[in-house]
C-alpha cells in the first residue's frame, strides 16, 4: 500500500483559489475599480490593452498605501476593511475578504505604485506568480496605480478559455457600466488600446445614464424616489414604449453595488402590467439603500445575488413606487402640453396610488378576433427587436413545427392562385380560396420569412436604393469595431457603408429598398446590440440574427393596404420559401379555414 495524498504547493493552491475570484479580465477590472472606490478616490482611470489580456491598469487618487501595506495587500486575507466577525454586518465597502489582490498576484505580473498624502515618496512593488520580485521607493502622485500584466500567464488552461477580444471587452464594458452608473459622484475614464472609450465627469445619475447609453435616454425615463423604513429608492425607470425584448438594460443596485434580484426586478416589471407585452422588459436604473444588517452580505465576491430580510415589503414598495412614477409622470407630460392651465400640485395623501393609465397602442387591434391575448402580443412587436433569448429560435430550427395543422402552401395541390381570388382582411391578412378551404396568410410574417430567406441565400441580395444624402452613423469605439465585423453581411443585404478613417463614424450611402433614413441609426444600433447578445449566447449564428432583424424591420407592416399584385407576389414568394409556415421568430404565418373549422367556430 502506498500513500496517495499530496499537499498542493502554495503556488498551485493560490492559482486554484484565484480562479474563484478572477475568471476573466472583466472580474479583475471589477476588483481594481472597487478597491479604488474603497480608497475614497474621486477620479479613477481604467486602461486596458487587448481586452485586458496584456494589460489592466487602474489609477486612482485615493488614500494610497504605506510601504508595508503595499507589500501586505498581496497576502491572502489581507484587508483593512474588517477587523472582527461582527464587522461583517455593517459592511459599507465594496471589498472585505482580502482576496482579490492575492488572487491576482498569483496569476499575473503585477506592478503597484502607491503614495499616501503625507509621504514625499511612494513605493513600488513588483510581484509575479505570488513572488515579490522588487520593492523600492518611487516618486508618484498621491493614490494608487495598479497594473496587471499578462493575466493568466502561468495558467494556460484559463488563458485558452478567454473569448475573442470583442467579447472580453464587452464584459469589461458591462462591469464598467455597473460600477460607474451608481458612482456618478466619481469621475471615470476608460481607455482601450490607446483609445478613449468613455470620459465620465462627476454628475447626476441621469447625466451618467446619458453619458453611458446616449442622450436620448433623457426623454425615455421617469424618476422614481421613495423613503421608507425598510428601503429608500432612487433612480429611473423607462417609459413603457421603450421596453425591449431583452433584459440588458436593467440595473438594480443596493448600497452602491450592482445586484441581480429576480424578485425585485419582477416588482418593477409588474408595475408595467397592461402597458407592455409580457415578453418585453423595461430598462431601469434603480438604486436601493438598505440597512446592511438587514441583508445577507456573506456572499461570494464575484456573485451578484443578495438576500434581504424584508423581501416582501420591498417588493410591494418597489412596485408601488414604479406604478406611481409611470402614472404621475405620464400625466405630467400631458399637462405640459397646455402650460397655460393652472393645476393644484398639493401633494397626494401618503398612501394614495394613482391608477396606472392604460395605454392601448396595439395598432392591430382586431375587434372580431377571439384569439387569446398571447397571440395578440406578437403584434406589438413590429418596431421592437426580436428576442435575444432562446424562445422562438427553437421553433425556428424545429422542422417539426410544420405539422399538418399548418398549411404548407408549397405543396398546395393548386399552386396557381388567381389574383382575382385573393383579398385582404383588415388590411393585415391575405385570404385565398383553395380547394381545402380559405387560406389566411399574415402579410407581415409572410414577408418577414421571404426577406429572411432572401437575405440568407447568397444569390439574391435585396435591391438597394442610393440615398440622396448619405447618412452618418456614429457608435462608441467598442461598438464601432463590432459594427465593422458586421459590415460584410450588411453590404450583402443591400447597404453601402464605409468607415471614416480613424473615427467611429460610418457613412451609409445606400440601404435596402424601403428602409427610411430615420430608421437607419436605430436599426444599426439594434443590430449591434443583438450581435453582442448573439456573441454572448454562442449558440446562435450572429449572421442569422442580423438577417432576422433586418427582415423584421423591412417587412410590410400589418394594417397596410395591399393591391392585388402585391398580395399575389407575397403568396408566390412565400411558396418558394424553404419553410413557409413559420416566421423566423417562430410565429405561425398562415392557417386554413376548412369547412370543419368554420363549423366549429360557428358552434363555439
Residues at the interface with ligand ADP (CB under 6 A): 31, 35-36, 38-39, 60, 62-65, 73, 78-81, 95-102, 144
* Strand 43-49 versus strand 55-60 pairing type: antiparallel
Mapping DSSP onto H, E and C, the string for 504-569 reads CEEEEEEEECCCCHHHHHHHHHHHHHHHHHHHHHCCCCHHHHHHHHHHHHHCCCCCCCCCHHHHHH
Q: Does 62 bind Mg ion (CB under 5 A)?
A: no
Which of Mg ion, ligand ADP, none does residue 63 bind (CB under 5 to 8 Å by kind)? ligand ADP
Output 116 or 412, the one with its CB closest to ligand ADP.
116
Residue 501, φ and ψ in degrees, nearest 5: -55, 130
With CB under 5 A as the contact rule, the residue among 25, 62, 95, 392 that binds Mg ion is 95
Q: State the binding partner of 97 from Mg ion, ligand ADP, none, CB within 5 to 8 A by kind.
A: ligand ADP
- Cell 408566390, residue located: 572
End-to-end CA distance of the chain: 80
Please give the Cα distance from 149 to 201 (Å, whole number): 28
Q: Pick between residue 78 and residue 320 the one whose CB is nearest to ligand ADP.
A: 78
Q: State which of positions 348-407 bind Mg ion (CB under 5 A).
A: none
- Picked from ligand ADP, Mg ion, none, the partner binding residue 550 (CB below 5 to 8 A depending on kind) is none
From residue 338, alpha-carbon distances to 219, 324, 327, 331 in Å are 19, 22, 18, 12
The 3-state DSSP composition of the chain as helix, strand, coil percent (nearest 5) reads 40, 20, 40
Is 60 or 168 the residue whose CB approaches ligand ADP more closely? 60
78 binds, among Mg ion, ligand ADP, none (CB under 5 to 8 A by kind): ligand ADP
- Ramachandran class of 551: left when φ > 0, alpha when ψ lies in -120 to 50, beta otherwise: alpha
**Which is nearer to ligand ADP, 41 or 210 (by Cβ)?**
41
Query: Which of 29, 100, 441, 450 touches Mg ion (CB under 5 A)?
Result: 100
Contacted by 586, from ligand ADP, Mg ion, none: CB < 5 to 8 Å by type: none
- Nearest approach in angstroms of CB 208 to ligand ADP is 22
Closer CB to Mg ion, residue 78 or residue 440? 78
Q: Among residues 61 and 364, whose Cβ is nearest to ligand ADP?
A: 61
- In the complex with Mg ion, the residue whose CB is nearer, 61 or 364, is 61
Nearest residue to Mg ion on Cβ basis:
95
Rg (CA), the chain: 29
Nearer to Mg ion, 94 or 172 (CB): 94
In the complex, the smallest distance separating the C-beta of residue 34 from Mg ion, rounded to whole angstroms, is 5
Q: Which residue is listed with cell 498605501?
A: 65
Residues sharing a CB contact under 8 Å with residue 516, sequence separation 6 or more, in sequence order: none
Residues in Cβ contact with 70 at an 8 Å cutoff, skipping those fewer than 6 apart: 112, 114, 123, 125, 135
Q: Binds 73, which of ligand ADP, Mg ion, none (CB < 5 to 8 A, cut-off by type)?
A: ligand ADP
Stretch that binds Mg ion, among 9-17, 89-97, 160-168, 442-450 (CB under 5 A): 89-97
* Smallest separation (angstroms) from Mg ion to the CB of 35: 4
Q: Which does 206 bind (CB under 5 to 8 A by kind): Mg ion, ligand ADP, none?
A: none
Beta carbon of residue 35, minimum distance to ligand ADP (angstroms, whole number): 3
Give the whole-angstrom CA distance, residue 284 versus residue 444. Answer: 31
Closer CB to ligand ADP, 31 or 269, in the complex: 31
- Measured distance CA(259)–CA(302) in Å, rounded: 11
For residue 397, the tally of other CB atoms under 10 A from its CB is 13
Q: Which of 405, 436, 439 is nearest to 421 (CA)?
A: 439
CB of 194 to Mg ion, least distance (A): 27
- Residue 173 φ/ψ, nearest 5 degrees: -60, -40
3-state class (DSSP) for residue 191: strand
With CB atoms as reference, the residue minimizing the distance to ligand ADP is 95
Q: Which is nearer to Mg ion, 43 or 302 (CB)?
A: 302
Taking the complex as a whole, the smallest distance from the CB of residue 72 to ligand ADP amounts, in Å, to 8
Q: Toward ligand ADP, which CB reaches closer, 31 or 453?
A: 31
**Minimum separation from the CB atom of position 256 to ligand ADP (A):** 14
Question: Least distance in Å: CB of 216 to ligand ADP?
Answer: 35
* 39 binds, options ligand ADP, Mg ion, none, Cβ within 5 to 8 A by partner type: ligand ADP
Interacting positions 18-47 with Mg ion (CB under 5 A):
35
Closest approach, Cβ 309 to ligand ADP, in A, equals 24
Phi/psi of residue 253, nearest 5 degrees: -125, 145
CB atoms within 10 A of CB 102: 21
CA atoms within 13 A on the CB side of 245: 21
Q: Site residues (CB under 5 A) for Mg ion?
A: 35, 95, 100
Amino acid at each position: 500500500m502506498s500513500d496517495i495524498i499530496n499537499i498542493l504547493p502554495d503556488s498551485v493552491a493560490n492559482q486554484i483559489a484565484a480562479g474563484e475570484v478572477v475568471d476573466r479580465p472583466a472580474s479583475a477590472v471589477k476588483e481594481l475599480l472597487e478597491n479604488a472606490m474603497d480608497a475614497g478616490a474621486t477620479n479613477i482611470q481604467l486602461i486596458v490593452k487587448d481586452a485586458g489580456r496584456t494589460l489592466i491598469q487602474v489609477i486612482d487618487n485615493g488614500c494610497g498605501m504605506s510601504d508595508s501595506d503595499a507589500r501586505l495587500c498581496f497576502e491572502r486575507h489581507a484587508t483593512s476593511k474588517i477587523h472582527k466577525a461582527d464587522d461583517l454586518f455593517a459592511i459599507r465597502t465594496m471589498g472585505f475578504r482580502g482576496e482579490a489582490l492575492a488572487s491576482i498576484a498569483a496569476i499575473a505580473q503585477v506592478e503597484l505604485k502607491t503614495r499616501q498624502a503625507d509621504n514625499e515618496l511612494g513605493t513600488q512593488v513588483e510581484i509575479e506568480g505570488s513572488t515579490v520580485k522588487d520593492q523600492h521607493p518611487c516618486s508618484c502622485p498621491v493614490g494608487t496605480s495598479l497594473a496587471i500584466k499578462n493575466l493568466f500567464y502561468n495558467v494556460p488552461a484559463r488563458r485558452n478559455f478567454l473569448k475573442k477580444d470583442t467579447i472580453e471587452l464587452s464584459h469589461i464594458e458591462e462591469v464598467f457600466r455597473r460600477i460607474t452608473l451608481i458612482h456618478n459622484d466619481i469621475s471615470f475614464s476608460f481607455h482601450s488600446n490607446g483609445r478613449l472609450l468613455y470620459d465620465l465627469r462627476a454628475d447626476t445619475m441621469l447625466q451618467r445614464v446619458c453619458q453611458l447609453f446616449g442622450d436620448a435616454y433623457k426623454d425615455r425615463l421617469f424618476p422614481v424616489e421613495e423613503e421608507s423604513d425598510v428601503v429608500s429608492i432612487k433612480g429611473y425607470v423607462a417609459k413603457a414604449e421603450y421596453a425591449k425584448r431583452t433584459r440588458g438594460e436593467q440595473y438594480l443596485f443596493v448600497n452602491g453595488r450592482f445586484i441581480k434580484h429576480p424578485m425585485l426586478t419582477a416588482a418593477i416589471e409588474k408595475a408595467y402590467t397592461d402597458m407592455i407585452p409580457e415578453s418585453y422588459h423595461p430598462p431601469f436604473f434603480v438604486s436601493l439603500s438598505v440597512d446592511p444588517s438587514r441583508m445577507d452580505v456573506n456572499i461570494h465576491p464575484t456573485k451578484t445575488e443578495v438576500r434581504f430580510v424584508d423581501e416582501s415589503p420591498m417588493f410591494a414598495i418597489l412596485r408601488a413606487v414604479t406604478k406611481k412614477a409611470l402614472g404621475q409622470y405620464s400625466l405630467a407630460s400631458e399637462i405640459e402640453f397646455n402650460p397655460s392651465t393652472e393645476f393644484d400640485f398639493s401633494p397626494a395623501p401618503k398612501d394614495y396610488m394613482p391608477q396606472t393609465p392604460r395605454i392601448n397602442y396595439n395598432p392591430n387591434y382586431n375587434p372580431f378576433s377571439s384569439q387569446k391575448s398571447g397571440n395578440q402580443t406578437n403584434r406589438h412587436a413590429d418596431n421592437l427587436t426580436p428576442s435575444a433569448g432562446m424562445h422562438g429560435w427553437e421553433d425556428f430550427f424545429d422542422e417539426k413545427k410544420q405539422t399538418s395543422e399548418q398549411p404548407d402552401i408549397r405543396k398546395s395541390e393548386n399552386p396557381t392562385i388567381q389574383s382575382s381570388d385573393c383579398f385582404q382582411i383588415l388590411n393585415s391578412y391575405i385570404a385565398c380560396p383553395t380547394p381545402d378551404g380559405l387560406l389566411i396568410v399574415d402579410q407581415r410574417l409572410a414577408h418577414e420569412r421571404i426577406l429572411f430567406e432572401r437575405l440568407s441565400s447568397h444569390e439574391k441580395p435585396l435591391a438597394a436604393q442610393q440615398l440622396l444624402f448619405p447618412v452618418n452613423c456614429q457608435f462608441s469605439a467598442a461598438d464601432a469595431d463590432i459594427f465593422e465585423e458586421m459590415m460584410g453581411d450588411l453590404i450583402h443585404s443591400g447597404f453601402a457603408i464605409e468607415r471614416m478613417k480613424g473615427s467611429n463614424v460610418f457613412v451609409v450611402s445606400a440601404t435596402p429598398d424601403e428602409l427610411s433614413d430615420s430608421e437607419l441609426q436605430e436599426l444599426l444600433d439594434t443590430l449591434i446590440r443583438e450581435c453582442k447578445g448573439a456573441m454572448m449566447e454562442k449558440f446562435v449564428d450572429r449572421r442569422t440574427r442580423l438577417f432576422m432583424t433586418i427582415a423584421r424591420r423591412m417587412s410590410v407592416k400589418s394594417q397596410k393596404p395591399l393591391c392585388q399584385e402585391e398580395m399575389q407576389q407575397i403568396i408566390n414568394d412565400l411558396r418558394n420559401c424553404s419553410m413557409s409556415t413559420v416566421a423566423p421568430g417562430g410565429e405561425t404565418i398562415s392557417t386554413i379555414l376548412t369547412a370543419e373549422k368554420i363549423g366549429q367556430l360557428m358552434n363555439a
